[in-house]
Amino acid sequence: MRTICRIPISRIALLAWAFSAVAILPAAETGTSWALILAPSRYSELAAAPYHVEGATQLTDRLQKAGFAADHVVLLTIPSGRQSRPATAESFRKQLAAMVDRVGVNDVFLVAVSSYAVRLGDADYVCASDTSKAELARIGDAGQPRDRKTLISVQEIVEQMSLSASTKRCLLIDAAGSRAQVAKDAASRPGERPLQVPDHQWVMFNDGDRLTQPADGNAETSCFMQSVIDGLAVHADSNSDRQVTLFELSDYCQLSAEAQQLSVPIFHGKATANFPLAATSEDPNDARRLPAELRQRLSEELLSAARNALLVENRGAAALEALNRAAQYRPNPKVQGEIDRLTATAIALKADAPSLTAAWERANAQQRPLIVLLRFATDVQVPGEITVREVLPAGTLVKVTKFVNGEWLKVEGQFRPQFDLNRLNYTAAPLAEGFVRLSSLRGPAKASDNVLAPTLDKAYAGTQSRFPQSLSQTTGED
């Protein structure tokens, strides 16, 4: 159970948990998804904040791409007037009550507020389009506003959401800009009463003011809202299962803030079980626009996830997916070298023609070599005046440089590792250039064939283990 916290959540523990999440997230208990988003485009008496509505608009688009039905996402941005869904406090309360009545027990229920927020007495409030400065300035003897018609209590939102049947509730509050714009108008009194959050609910509260600085001409958003949008797109998917869970999104927002030296969002709640928030809707090929430090941290986290999949769960396919994503974040040479080494083991665990084909295509697209650990004994034809046939034993490493008709691999420099179980490292001796036939990899595994792969896993996991110089020269690694 996750409880009220203001400290970082362990990503190592989360990643170890994420790869076993199938048992916690039964597919049979999925429902539909609902979202209510408040983001005034203008305020009656407060300064306009274009980044509020820009972030909320992008979030709405992202949710719909992630599987939220268009008629299940309500965006309130219009200040007032004859619009049926203005961004006033009264309109928000009506829309929230209506959605509470419609949400089912297995439905995801998301409420997001991108607006100014202020602490009055012991409670936090968010502003609607019609919030007045006079209301911000008046508080009663108990430290609460005398008139709360145009101020919306965060506690009120939490309690209203808890009236729904859903056990998958999440409240996002992005209060960027509040310190500069509304704090000076608020007659705040210090208070220490924490937000009271019932079970099955999670609150992420951002009070940092940093805005993005997009280089592609896009409008500004808050860094927090941008991390939510990027996380839901694909980057929070730490276990590469093509969906983003509640804890994955929370963890990604925290990691993003730490990598950019921003204020970490405040997390409140007692989330008794994790649940998928949205399906990913993009490939991570847009990673170049992420800050360099964040990309490096993400590649390291995915590398840890892949190592867990290999060493703990023996899941080669899941590890390959995580390693492929890690490489797309353009990590430093040290991390990239480890990615290449673990990729060899992950491919060996699958050891079939389709997985090798996919791995070759990924490596070729990234213009980097593909190192393959042969899990099964494999025929080799060495070209020359006299064709020499040789059987490479299980555990042989080959560097793939050409793929021919989906049936042959051209390799440069095969290597026979010799393991020392005490030192957890190995040496290798290069052989001649040759061809490896994929059909040889389709046979059933034998007990003897499985011995070397776990040993190589241990060698990779050892902090001092390195490829020998001869292999480094052949693969182009540092």
Which tens digits make up the pLDDT trace of 139-179? 544 555 555 788 899 999 999 999 999 999 999 999 887 76
Distance between CA atoms of 383 and 408, rounded to whole angstroms?
13
φ, ψ (nearest 5 deg) of residue 313? -110, -5
User: Distance between CA 31 and CA 69 in Å, rounded?
Assistant: 12
Tokens of 89: 């406090």
* pLDDT(359) > 50: yes
SS3 306: helix
- Parallel/antiparallel/unpaired status of strands 397-404 and 370-373: antiparallel
Helices (H) and strands (E) in the chain, counts: 14, 19
Q: Which of the two residues, 476 and 373, has the higher pLDDT score?
A: 373
Can you tell me the distance from the alpha carbon of 65 to that of 53, in angstroms, rounded to the nearest whole number? 18
Residue 299 pLDDT more than 80?
Answer: yes
Q: Which of 168, 92, 162 is nearest to 128 (CA)?
A: 92
The dihedrals phi and psi of 409, each to the nearest 5 degrees, come to -115, 125
Predicted pLDDT at 241? 79
SS (H, E, C) 348-373: HHHCCHHHHHHHHHHHHHCCCCEEEE
Whole-number average pLDDT of the chain: 70
Pick the more confident residue, 26 or 321: 321
Query: pLDDT band at residue 78, thresholds of 50, 70 and 90?
Result: confident
Residue 76 has what pLDDT? 95
The separation between CA 378 and the C-alpha centre of its own chain, rounded to angstroms, equals: 38
Indicate the helix (H) or strand (E) that contains 419.
strand 418-420
Banded model confidence at residue 303, pLDDT cuts 50, 70, 90: confident
> What is the per-residue pLDDT for 361?
72
pLDDT at 101: 96
State mean pLDDT over 271-275.
73
Convert the pLDDT of each residue in 366-411 to its tens digit: 666 666 655 555 555 555 555 555 666 655 666 666 665 555 556 6
**Alpha-carbon distance 347 to 280, whole Å?**
25
- Rounded mean pLDDT of 76-102? 87
Element (H, E) at 111: strand 108-114
Q: What are phi and psi of 163, to 5 degrees?
A: -75, -10
Could you say which DSSP state residue 76 is in?
E
20 pLDDT higher than 50: no
Q: Where are the domains of the chain?
A: 11-282, 294-475
* Long-range CB contacts (within 8 A, 24+) of 441-450: 441/351, 441/352, 441/353, 441/356, 441/374, 441/375, 441/376, 441/378, 442/352, 442/353, 443/376, 445/351, 445/375, 445/376, 446/376, 448/394, 449/375, 449/376, 449/377, 449/394, 450/375
Cα separation, 97 vs 80, whole angstroms:
19
Q: What percent of the chain is modeled with pLDDT above 70?
A: 54
d(CA 383, CA 425): 31
User: Which residue is listed with tokens 């059987």?
Assistant: 391
- Beta-carbon count within 10 A of 347 CB: 27
Confidence of residue 59 (pLDDT cuts 50, 70, 90): very high
Report whether pLDDT(82) > 80.
no
- pLDDT band at residue 448 under the 50/70/90 scheme: very low
- For residue 42, the number of C-alpha atoms closer than 13 Å in the C-beta half-sphere is 5
The tally of CA atoms less than 13 A away on the side-chain side of residue 337 is 17
> What gap in Å lies between CA 100 and CA 91, rounded to an integer?
14
Tell me the sheet residues that pair with 437.
Answer: 408
At 180, the pLDDT band (50, 70, 90 cuts) reads low
Residue type for position 385: E
Average pLDDT over residues 70-93: 85
> How far out from the chain centre does Cα 385 lie?
54
> Which tops the pLDDT comparison, 203 or 446?
203
Position 249 confidence tier, pLDDT thresholds 50, 70, 90: very high
Strand partners of residue 426? 419
On the question of pLDDT at 192 being above 90, the answer is no
Q: Is the per-residue pLDDT at 424 higher than 60?
A: no
Q: 470 falls in which pLDDT band (50, 70, 90)? A: very low
Neighbours of 135 (CB within 10 A): 23
Q: Which range is most confident: 197-201, 359-363, 468-472?
A: 197-201
CB atoms within 10 A of CB 150: 21
Q: What type of residue is 68?
A: F
Region 445-465: mean pLDDT is 35
Instruction: Considering only residues 230 and 287, tell me which one the structure prediction assigns the higher pLDDT.
Output: 230
Enumerate the β-bridge partners of residue 127.
151
Q: Which CATH number fits domain 11-282: 3.30.420.40, 3.90.1330.10, 3.40.50.1460, 3.90.1150.10?
A: 3.40.50.1460
Of the candidates 291, 202, 280, 219, the one whose C-alpha atom is nearest the C-alpha of residue 255 is: 291
Q: Are 323 and 331 in contact (CB under 8 A)?
A: no
Element (H, E) at 12: helix 11-18
Give CA–CA dist 174/302, Å, rounded.
27
CB under 8 Å to 10, separation ≥6 — which residues?
Answer: none
Phi, psi of 38 (to 5 degrees): -110, 125
Q: How far apart are CA 229 and CA 243, in angstroms?
A: 14
Task: Judge whether 186 and 117 are in contact, CB under 8 Å.
Answer: no
